[in-house]
Amino acid sequence: MSPKNDRLVASALTSQEMPSDKMSELAFLGRSNAGKSSLINALTGVKMAHVSSSPGKTQRIHFYRMKNWYLVDLPGYGYAKVPKSIREQFGQAVEDYLTSRQPLIGGILVQDIRRDPQEEELTVIRWAYERNLFIAIAGTKMDRLNKHEQKMRIDRLQDAYHLEIYPISSRTKEGVDKLRDAIRGLGLIM
């Protein structure tokens, strides 16, 4: 196993394949290509999640061991080029995970700051509310916008979600510290 994967403890599709020690889990989820894996690597300072050169590569639920929790990288939804049968299989796995996984305490919904929320994002938020899970929005790829556009997009997502928006660039590391602090605020030690 390569050093970057030392923390990967499970790549699961079914609950039987997931860790059974009941340590808290925080999930990173969002549309394919939104920048989940890049954000995970920027937050942890470890190149542990695979950054896709072509989107739709994360097709299993990956569990990475942190000090007192598991960081969970969920497959990105909404990527058309992944065959439908596979898409449905991991779509179901993600839904099962988010709606019934007991150690799950919350999610970071990762979304390209330039995009508006769609049906899938709102569904995810509803699941989180139904279970009283922590949820925050990480608006990625801020480096793609100028200052004026950045402000417009942050305001827009704030209005759409009514949740805390963490504007982020995994490329320049802007905003990464602030999100890391929020995660620490949940009692999760990086």
Ligand X SMILES: Nc1nc2c(ncn2[C@@H]2O[C@H](COP(=O)(O)OP(=O)(O)OP(=O)(O)O)[C@@H](O)[C@H]2O)c(=O)[nH]1
- Per-residue 3-state assignment (H helix, E strand, C coil) for 92-143: HHHHHHHHHCCCEEEEEEEEECCCCCCHHHHHHHHHHHHCCCEEEEEEECHH
When binding is defined by CB under 5 A, the residue of 37, 59, 150, 169 that contacts Mg ion is: 37
Options 1-9, 19-27, 167-175, 179-187: segment touching ligand X (CB under 6 A) = 167-175
Q: Does residue 31 contact residue 162 with C-beta atoms inside 8 Å?
A: no
When binding is defined by CB under 6 A, the residue of 55, 91, 103, 117 that contacts ligand X is: 55
How far is C-alpha 133 from the chain's CA centre? Answer: 14
CA R_g for the chain: 16
Q: For the segment 41-100, give every residue that binds Mg ion (CB under 5 A).
A: 58
Type and span of the H or E element at 88: helix 84-100
**Using rule CB under 6 A, residue 32 touches ligand X:** yes
When binding is defined by CB under 6 A, the residue of 52, 60, 160, 163 that contacts ligand X is: 52
Q: Does residue 186 contact residue 22 with C-beta atoms inside 8 Å?
A: no
When binding is defined by CB under 6 A, the residue of 90, 105, 170, 175 that contacts ligand X is: 170
Report the nearest approach of ligand X to the CB of residue 151 (Å): 17
Q: Specify the residue, 58 or 150, whose C-beta has the smaller distance to ligand X.
A: 58
Q: Specify the residue, 52 or 158, whose C-beta has the smaller distance to Mg ion.
A: 52
**Using rule CB under 5 A, residue 140 touches Mg ion:** no
Closest C-alpha to 138, from 170, 94, 186, 160: 170
**Among Mg ion, ligand X, none, partner that 33 touches (CB below 5 to 8 angstroms by kind):** ligand X
**Using rule CB under 6 A, residue 140 touches ligand X:** yes
CA distance 94 to 92: 5
Contacts with ligand X by CB under 6 A lie at 32-38, 51-52, 55-58, 76, 140-141, 143-144, 169-171
